[in-house]
A and B are shown apart, each in its own frame.
Chain A
C-alpha cells in the first residue's frame, strides 16, 4: 500500500511519514504543491494525505487538477481550516475525507485504512480467499484455522494480492505498492518475498495459493486451480 503525503510543515511531514511507515505503508512525502501534483500524477498511490496551505500550489487546486486529469486516488485533507465551509470546499474539490489538525494518529491511520479499503471496493475489513482470511484491521492472517505469522512487508504483499484476488498483479505494481520510491528494490526482492509467503502459507495437502503468471505477474486464487 503506497501513500503520498503532501504537507508543508517539515516536522509534521516527518512525523506522519514515520507513523505511516510504521503502520506498514510505503510513503512518499513532499512539502510542495507542484511537486505533490507531479508525484500523484505519475504514480498510482492507494491514498493521498493532503495539506491545504502549500507553497507552489494550494491543496485544493492540486486536488482539482489531479481529478481533472482523471486520477481518482482517494484523498484525505489534513488541515487547520476546520470550518464547515472549508470542509465542504475540500470535499467538493474531490477529497474523500477531511481531518482537522491537530489530530490523533489513530484516527489518521484508521481513516487512511478506510480510504484504501474503499479503493479496492471492499468495505469489510476481513478479506476472504477460499480458506484464507486476512484481517486488515488486526493485520492477522489465518489459513484453514491456523494463524500465520508474517513480517509487515509480507503481510502488505498478501493484503495487496488478497484485495485483488483473482486478478493478475504485476511485479512492478507490487514493487510500487510495497516498497515505495525511497527504497532500493533489488531485482529479485519481489520473487523472494513471494516464495517466502508461499512457504508460510503452505499447509500439508494443499496446492499453493499464489500462482505465477509468467511475464505477467502473480495471482492469488482460492483452491489454486
Chain B
C-alpha cells in the first residue's frame, strides 16, 4: 500500500477538482444568461429611444433624429440596424446601414417584446428586438413595428473572458486545493507519524516504557493499546529470559567456585597427599554436578523449543515406577520415609519411555528430597476411562498455596536461601516441559492436610 498521506491528499485534491469543474459548469450558463439579459436590456433601451423618435399620425410614420443619419446607423464595421414597418406591413423606414437589404419582421402581437439572435446583413452575429406599438387608431395614429438589431461582438468577448476566467481561476483553485489537501492530511496524520517514530525507537532496553494511549486520537487508541499489551508481554518474556540467564550463571558459579577453591588448595598443598586425594574426589563430584545441571538445562531448552523427537512405544508404567522405586530405595531408607505403593501390576501406555521416565523420576526425586524425615509418601496409579493418572502425595511443610504457581519455574525454590547442591532446581521445570510436549497434564495442588499433591494424567 502506498503512503496514507499520498492517498488521502490525492483523493482530497481529486474531489475538490471535480467539485470545481462542476461548479464552473453550473456557473457558466447562469453567468451567460445574466450577461445576455444585460445585453437585451441595453437593446431594449436603445429600441425604446428609437420608438420615442418615431412619430406616427395621419400623414404617416416619420423618424426624427438630431443628426441624420445617426452615426451608429451609418454603414460601417460596427453598424447597428433598424427597420420600421407600418401596420399594413409596408416598410416605413430603415437605417442607412441596411442599404438594399432588410430585416425580417416577426409576427408578434401588440405591445409584445421579442428578442432573437440573427445573422446581420453583413454576416456578423447579432441580436434583434422587435417592438410593436399600437397607437390610438381613432385619433388617426396608426400602429407600427420597430425592429432593432446590433452585433454581439462585445457580449461574445465578455463571455469569452468569463470562460477564460472560470478556467484560469479553476486551475489556480485546483492547485490551491491540492496544496491544502496535502497540508490538511499531513497535519491530520501527524499523530500517526509520531506513533511510528515512537515505535521505531523501541528496542530491548526500552521495553519497560509504554506508549501514551491518552494522547493518541480515538482511531489510533486501539492500536496503541494493543501495542502496549504486546510490549507488556514482550517485556515479561525478556525479563523471564534475563532472570533465567542470571539464574543459570548463579547456579553454575557455585560449582565453579568449588572447583577453583579445591584446585587452588590442591596446587598449593600438593605434598599433603591425604588432603589432595579428598580435593580430587570433590573436584570430580563438582564436575559431575555441573555436567548434570548443563544436561538438564539442555534438555529443558530442547523440550521448550519442541526439538525433542519422541519415540512412542507401548510401555508399562508400573514397571517404570518399580524401577524408580528400587533406584530411590536407599534414600527413602536413609530418611526413614514410609512409601505407600498403590500401583497395579500392569498399566500399559503408548508413549515415549525416556521422557516418561524423566518426568516420573523428577517427581519422585522431589518428593523424596522435600518430605521431612520419617514422613509419608503416597504413590498411586489408576485408570479411569481412557486416562491413566499418576498421583504423588507427600508432606512439604515449607510450601504455601501462593508458592504453587512458581513450582514449575526453573530454579525456583520454596526456601530462597536454599541452594542444595544435589538438586539443580530444574527438575520440576523439566518434568512440566516434557509433560506438555507429551500432551500430558501435570498439575500440583495442596491437599486439605497441607500435603503437596502432584497429578500427572496420561491420555491413552
Decide: B416 and A102 in contact? CB cutoff 8 A: no
- Pick from A15-23, A116-124, A143-151, A213-221 the stretch touching chain B: A15-23
In the complex, whether B110 has a CB less than 8 A from a CB of chain A is no
Given known pairs A14-B282, A18-B275, A80-B254, the reply for A54 and B262 (CB within 8 Å) is no
Decide: A55 and B279 in contact? CB cutoff 8 A: no
In the complex, whether A12 has a CB less than 8 A from a CB of chain B is yes
Chain B residues in 8 Å Cβ range of A101: 253-254, 256-257
In the complex, whether B2 has a CB less than 8 A from a CB of chain A is no
Q: Which of A10, A11, A16, A53 contacts B418 (CB 8 A)?
A: A53
Given known pairs A12-B258, A101-B257, the reply for A18 and B285 (CB within 8 Å) is no
Decide: B417 and A55 in contact? CB cutoff 8 A: yes
* Cα A20 to Cα B401 with chains together (Å): 44
In the complex, whether B250 has a CB less than 8 A from a CB of chain A is yes
* Cα A187 to Cα B207 with chains together (Å): 69
Chain B residues in 8 Å Cβ range of A104: 260, 264
* Cα A35 to Cα B420 with chains together (Å): 17
The digit string for B405-449, where 1 denotes a CB below 8 A from any CB of A, is 000000000011111110000000000000000000000000000
In the complex, whether A38 has a CB less than 8 A from a CB of chain B is no
Decide: A105 and B282 in contact? CB cutoff 8 A: no
Nearest opposing residue in chain A for B421, CB measure: A9
Decide: B264 and A33 in contact? CB cutoff 8 A: no
In the complex, whether A52 has a CB less than 8 A from a CB of chain B is yes
Instruction: Tell me the residues in window 17-38 of chain A with beta carbons closer than 8 Å to chain B beta carbons.
Output: 18-19, 22, 33
* Cα A15 to Cα B261 with chains together (Å): 6
Chain B residues in 8 Å Cβ range of A58: 416-417
Chain A residues in 8 Å Cβ range of B269: 18, 22
In the complex, whether B55 has a CB less than 8 A from a CB of chain A is no
Decide: B265 and A11 in contact? CB cutoff 8 A: no
* Cα A8 to Cα B256 with chains together (Å): 15
Decide: B258 and A9 in contact? CB cutoff 8 A: yes
Chain A residues in 8 Å Cβ range of B258: 9, 11-12, 15
* Cα A8 to Cα B278 with chains together (Å): 18
Decide: B275 and A52 in contact? CB cutoff 8 A: no
Q: Which of B253, B261, B286, B419 contacts A105 (CB 8 A)?
A: B261
Decide: A105 and B275 in contact? CB cutoff 8 A: no
Decide: B256 and A102 in contact? CB cutoff 8 A: yes
A-B pairs with beta carbons under 8 Å apart, 10 shown:
A11-B421, A12-B254, A12-B261, A18-B265, A33-B417, A53-B417, A59-B417, A80-B253, A102-B261, A103-B261
Nearest opposing residue in chain B for A55, CB measure: B418
Q: Which of B250, B282, B420 contacts A80 (CB 8 A)?
A: B250
B-side interface residues, number (CB < 8 Å): 27
In the complex, whether B273 has a CB less than 8 A from a CB of chain A is no
In the complex, whether A139 has a CB less than 8 A from a CB of chain B is no
Chain B residues in 8 Å Cβ range of A153: none
Given known pairs A9-B254, A81-B250, A101-B253, the reply for A16 and B415 (CB within 8 Å) is no
* Cα A58 to Cα B254 with chains together (Å): 16
In the complex, whether B305 has a CB less than 8 A from a CB of chain A is no
Instruction: Tell me the residues in window 149-184 of chain B with beta carbons closer than 8 Å to chain A beta carbons.
Output: none
* Cα A15 to Cα B282 with chains together (Å): 10
Chain A residues in 8 Å Cβ range of B268: 19, 22, 105
Chain A residues in 8 Å Cβ range of B279: 15
Decide: B282 and A11 in contact? CB cutoff 8 A: yes
Decide: A11 and B260 in contact? CB cutoff 8 A: no
Q: Whole-angstrom distance from the CB of A170 to the nearest CB of chain B?
A: 33
Instruction: Tell me the residues in window 257-292 of chain B with beta carbons closer than 8 Å to chain A beta carbons.
Output: 257-262, 264-265, 268-269, 275, 278-279, 282, 285-286
Given known pairs A19-B265, A81-B250, A105-B268, the reply for A55 and B257 (CB within 8 Å) is no
Chain B residues in 8 Å Cβ range of A57: 417
Which 8 A/B pairs are nearest by Cβ-Cβ distance? A58-B417, A101-B257, A102-B257, A15-B261, A11-B282, A80-B253, A102-B260, A53-B419
The digit string for B352-375, where 1 denotes a CB below 8 A from any CB of A, is 000000000000000000000000
| Apart from the given pairs A54-B418, A55-B418, 20 other A-B contacts in the complex at a CB distance below 8 Å | A9-B258, A9-B419, A11-B261, A12-B254, A12-B258, A14-B278, A15-B261, A15-B265, A19-B268, A53-B417, A53-B419, A55-B417, A80-B250, A81-B250, A101-B256, A102-B256, A102-B257, A103-B257, A104-B264, A105-B261
Decide: A55 and B415 in contact? CB cutoff 8 A: yes
* Cα A54 to Cα B417 with chains together (Å): 5
Decide: A102 and B253 in contact? CB cutoff 8 A: yes
Nearest opposing residue in chain A for B283, CB measure: A11
Q: Whole-angstrom distance from the CB of B217 to the nearest CB of chain A?
A: 42
Q: Whole-angstrom distance from the CB of B28 to the nearest CB of chain A?
A: 82
Q: Whole-angstrom distance from the CB of B69 to the nearest CB of chain A?
A: 117
* Cα A14 to Cα B283 with chains together (Å): 12
Nearest opposing residue in chain A for B262, CB measure: A15
Q: Whole-angstrom distance from the CB of B193 to the nearest CB of chain A?
A: 41
The digit string for A158-172, where 1 denotes a CB below 8 A from any CB of B, is 000000000000000
Q: Whole-angstrom distance from the CB of A205 to the nearest CB of chain B?
A: 41
Instruction: Tell me the residues in window 237-262 of chain B with beta carbons closer than 8 Å to chain A beta carbons.
Output: 250, 253-254, 256-262
Nearest opposing residue in chain B for A10, CB measure: B421
* Cα A189 to Cα B250 with chains together (Å): 45
Chain A residues in 8 Å Cβ range of B254: 9, 12, 80, 101
Q: Whole-angstrom distance from the CB of A197 to the nearest CB of chain B?
A: 26
* Cα A43 to Cα B359 with chains together (Å): 47
Chain A residues in 8 Å Cβ range of B420: 8, 55
Chain B residues in 8 Å Cβ range of A55: 415, 417-418, 420
Q: Whole-angstrom distance from the CB of A89 to the nearest CB of chain B?
A: 13
* Cα A12 to Cα B419 with chains together (Å): 13
Q: Which of B264, B285, B416, B419 contacts A8 (CB 8 A)?
A: B419
Q: Whole-angstrom distance from the CB of B245 to the nearest CB of chain A?
A: 14
Instruction: Tell me the residues in window 312-357 of chain B with beta carbons closer than 8 Å to chain A beta carbons.
Output: none
Chain A residues in 8 Å Cβ range of B264: 15, 19, 104-105
Chain B residues in 8 Å Cβ range of A33: 417
* Cα A171 to Cα B310 with chains together (Å): 71
* Cα A27 to Cα B249 with chains together (Å): 30
Chain A residues in 8 Å Cβ range of B262: 11, 15
Q: Whole-angstrom distance from the CB of A77 to the nearest CB of chain B?
A: 13
Q: Whole-angstrom distance from the CB of B254 to the nearest CB of chain A?
A: 6
* Cα A54 to Cα B415 with chains together (Å): 9
